[in-house]
Amino acid sequence: GPFRDTHGSGFQRDTDRRKYPAMTSGSPLLEARGLAFRYPGGFGVGPLDLQLRPGELLLLAGPSGAGKSTLLDLLAGSLSPASGRLLFRQSAVLRTPLSALAAYRRRIGIVDHRGSLLADRSLRENLDFALAARGVTAGARRRERLQLLGRLGLLGLQDQKPATLSTGEGRRAQLALALSGNPDALLLDEPLGNLPREIRQDLFQQLLELRRAGTAILMTTHDDELLGSGEGRVLRMDHGRLSAAPGSRP
């Protein structure tokens, strides 16, 4: 396929639209309606509208301080908006019983600027803990952990603690944690930032495989090569407002 030669040709576009039927039809998996947030100092995000469908890749670009991480926190349910609605499979997530928010959080995988790996636990323990939290039975946990670690090239590192991992290994470990429990959507804050080009490309191929399997992916990036690859839909954020990149639908 068009992604095999990752080292020679960089980020390439997969033009077979038949693989992504959900991108052009059907209901949004995740939807923000009029979502807005204000920090005490005055900076705000929104109000903004956003839809993410199954099997869709949405790349969020924009300068540092534009509000990209705040938007991801709002979509993850980590921040409560001043106004607006967040819907998952057409059901409200916010201002509902906490159990609804908890159920939603189990269906999304997150890589954010805070990092989610427990520093005092090995990679194996981190993943087992995450899988248990997502309701994976003890019998299935080991199988799923080995599958995740194998997919991301981390099998030999499962007894290591986060501090001993390289930047690239740590990023892959965070992604493994986000993928535990097979989430419907991934919210990724600069998952490929500050990595060597070869590792960036390899991780991007992993994300494209997930997308082909139907996972919805929203990720922030400053990577011009990635933004210019023709993959996915590009939105730009500036001063807390969203706009479609030229040639991309809003």
User: What is the tens place of the pLDDT at every residue in 38-89?
Assistant: 988 878 898 999 999 999 999 999 998 899 999 999 999 888 898 999 999 9
From CA 226, how far away is CA 178, in angstroms rounded? 21
Residue 218 confidence (pLDDT): 97
- The H or E element containing residue 135 is none
Residue 247 confidence (pLDDT): 59
Tell me the pLDDT tens digit for each residue of 128-157.
998 998 888 988 999 999 988 988 889 999
Residue 5 confidence (pLDDT): 33
From CA 208, how far away is CA 161, in angstroms rounded? 28
What is this structure's pTM?
Answer: 0.84
From CA 88, how far away is CA 26, in angstroms rounded? 14
Residue 14 confidence (pLDDT): 45
| More confident call, 245 vs 118 | 118
From CA 199, how far away is CA 21, in angstroms rounded? 29
- The side-by-side arrangement of strands in the sheet containing 57-61 is 108-111, 185-189, 216-220, 57-61, 233-238, 241-244
Residue 40 has a CB neighbour count (10 Å cut-off) of 5
Structure tokens at 205: 């191929």
> What domains are there in the chain, each with its CATH number?
19-107+184-250 (3.40.50.300), 119-183 (no CATH)
Task: Using the CB atoms, write b or e for 196-232: b if 16+ within 10 Å.
Answer: eeebbbbbbebbbebbbebbbbbbbbebeebbebebb
DSSP state for residue 155 in the 8-state scheme? G
Helix (H, G, I), strand (E, B) or coil at 147: helix
Residues β-bridged to residue 187: 110, 218
pLDDT tops 60 at residue 120: yes
> Kindly report the CA angle at 81 between 79 and 84, in degrees rounded to 5?
140
Residues β-bridged to residue 157: none
Tell me the pLDDT tens digit for each residue of 186-221.
999 988 888 888 888 888 988 999 999 999 999 999
From CA 106, how far away is CA 74, in angstroms rounded? 16
| More confident call, 201 vs 5 | 201
Residue 192 confidence (pLDDT): 87
Structure tokens at 121: 């636990």
Tell me the pLDDT tens digit for each residue of 159-191.
999 999 988 888 889 989 998 878 999 999 988
Residue 15 confidence (pLDDT): 41
